[in-house]
Amino acid sequence: MSVRRRRALTAVVAGTALVLASCASLPSDSSPEVVRPYSAPGEVMEIPEPRNGVAQDVILRDFFTAMAHPTDDFEAARKFLTEDAAENWIPQREMLVLTDVNIISGVDGQSRTGDTYEVRSEVVGSLTTNGAYQQSQGSWMEEFRMDRDSDGQWLISELPDGIYLERSTFMESYVPHNIYFVDPTGQRLVPDRRWLYRGEPDQVARLMQLLRAGPRIELGQGVTTALRPSIEVSTFDLPEQTGTGINFEGAGDISDDIRTLIAAQTVWTLGEAGLRGPWLLDADGAPLIERSSAAWTRDAPEIAALNPAISPGDSEPLRVVYNGAIYTLHDEGAEVADGIWGSAGSDLGYAAIGLDTEGETVYAGVQNRGSGTDTSASLIVGRPGLQTQTAVNAQTLTRPSWSPGASSVWTVADGEVVHRAMWSEEQGSVSTEEVNIAELESLPGAISEFRIDPSGTQAAMLKGGQLVVATVVQSDAAPWALVEPRAITLPEGVTPVSLTWNPDSALMVGDYGDESPVWRVQSDGSSSYALPRVNLTAPIAQVASTSYTVYALDEFALMELVSDEGDQQFWRAVPEVPGRAAPIVVE
């Protein structure tokens, strides 16, 4: 008999969903009061300045680089402008991220007057004033006029408003950080990826400003925050101590449960940004929570259950589906599951395993029958070794995916209908609802893959062969919904066939082609890169990952990504797994 590892996942707060503050809706340029000059110092960066005796197009390219530096109201960029242009230019209008920038002398591309330039480029993204990256596509073309000043220096006299950065400059000058909000149940932290200027003079103040201002628009309906709009944030020195003090003014009589969530959001937002701790957290000039230790760190026991770096799959053995049955892999070999889950005659094509709040596993599987156009599929749910319940019947069903805490399991019927099945431990039964996906209808094609993220607040899917991420809206009065769908453009030539969420909320995508079979993709679309391909043979039918290991089911075997002593990565077959077995990582 296999040994079950138990891990308590009970939230630090029970039933906080009804008392959480709603997401603050604050102007993005509001700032917390900073009452001390300390900050983790911004990086020393090389910033270009106008140079005499160089060509106008070189001056223009230097200006494009200088725009990456927002300090002192873009003082570095304004040095490249004439006095009138510097006074009238509005850089805050928007920030575009460009590629393949082409500078052409003369508006029509023919003239060589030397004072008017046309700049053409392709847009790959944009950055909002709250640091949220949005993938974009399209062509960009603007005119710039240049004139000499009294010293003979070429300066820009006419230009469009906004910031426009080449992608390489953007990646060199900005760095991503997670701002942590809270799921509607108050049980999990939800990362919201934002990009901050590397030379930010006070990163603590900037990160707290973003936390206080609330989530990006796309996540707004799916998450909440413990920081109500009336709370003002300030920072202060800790005499003769390392770390930083933060005061939440206006907290009033909020409960310790909500105060604990404020601590978790703050500590994880600042700690994961690499800023110096520990943190002394006050509310209205007194300790945020009376506790034995005044300083807060990411290891504080009060917020341990909200640790966003913990994945259920990290402490559970790998399972696989092989010949229609589920096996658990141990050092001593593979152990077949109890009951129908371990029967080759159960026709399991896909399976998923959730871990409930008591640390116990709940299974879900798709039984596939028939062939060709005469097929049927059933989603079954239950405990291993006990009676199962049928939740959904259809012609085809996607691989199931559990919400955190095994609260519900998701699948897509016939590529069109998203179902959510809720397991009831007390009744030993399962109920289902059809999820509202009206906002997805504008995106063409059927859904072939569907995965819920580690926080339960976002869903990723392959729809019509396109990678799409949507926000999960939870509701007690109406069916749950998927809203704010955003398609993520993958590199040219990538044909996705499988996907999964990484525990850090990035996406792993399995490709159809051999050139780069597995990709890691950021959910905001800001970047993607191919994992090593050594030993992999496409197509990649399934991918799965824990915090430590990535698994890929290729054409011949189940493979895992490993590193040798020289940190060179390559894929090898998972030991003790014969043939093509599909990986199951506990969710």
pLDDT tens digit string along 464-483? 999 999 999 999 999 999 99
With a cut of 70, say whether residue 110 has pLDDT above it: no
Q: Are 36 and 235 in contact (CB under 8 A)?
A: yes
> pLDDT tens-digit profile of 154-176?
999 999 999 999 999 999 999 99
Q: Per residue in 404-455, pLDDT tens?
A: 999 999 999 999 999 999 988 776 679 999 999 999 999 999 999 999 999 9
365, β-bridge pairs: 351, 380
In angstroms, the CA 473 to CA 412 distance is: 17
- The residue-averaged pLDDT of 116-131 equals 95
Interval 530-546: pLDDT, tens: 999 999 999 999 999 99
Greater confidence (563 vs 316) lies with 316
pLDDT for the residue numbered 18:
33
The confidence score (pLDDT) of residue 106 equals 66
- Could you give the percent of the chain with pLDDT greater than 70? 90
Residue 242's pLDDT band (boundaries 50, 70, 90)?
Answer: confident
Nearest one of 121, 196, 268, 199 to 526, comparing CA atoms: 196
- What's the chain's average pLDDT? 89
What's the mean pLDDT in 198-213?
Answer: 94
What's the pLDDT band for 25 if we cut at 50, 70, 90?
very low
251 Cβ neighbours under 8 A, 6+ residues apart: 231, 259, 262, 283, 284, 288
Confidence of residue 115 (pLDDT cuts 50, 70, 90): confident
CA 328 – CA 323 distance, rounded (Å): 14
User: Average pLDDT of 133-151?
Assistant: 94
* Phi, psi for 216 (deg, rounded to 5): -60, 160
Q: What is the pLDDT of residue 258?
A: 96
3-state secondary structure string across 402-448:
ECHHHCCEEEEECCCEEEEEEEECCCCEEEEEECECHHHCCCCCCEE
Per the DSSP assignment, residues forming a β-bridge with 367 are: 348, 378
Rounded to two decimals, the pTM is 0.90
Q: Which of 4-13, 56-65, 448-457 has the weakest average pLDDT?
A: 4-13
Compute φ and ψ for 371, nearest 5 degrees: -155, 165
pLDDT higher than 80, residue 192: yes
Question: Is pLDDT above 50 for 9?
Answer: no
How much is the pLDDT for 76?
97
Cα(552)–Cα(568) distance, integer angstroms? 18
Q: In what order do the strands lie in the sheet with 582-584?
A: 333-336, 325-330, 319-322, 582-584
Q: Which one is predicted more confidently, 17 or 262? A: 262
What pLDDT, on a 0 to 100 scale, did the predictor assign at position 107?
54
pLDDT at residue 361 greater than cutoff 80: yes
Confidence of residue 303 (pLDDT cuts 50, 70, 90): very high
Higher-pLDDT residue of 431, 331: 431
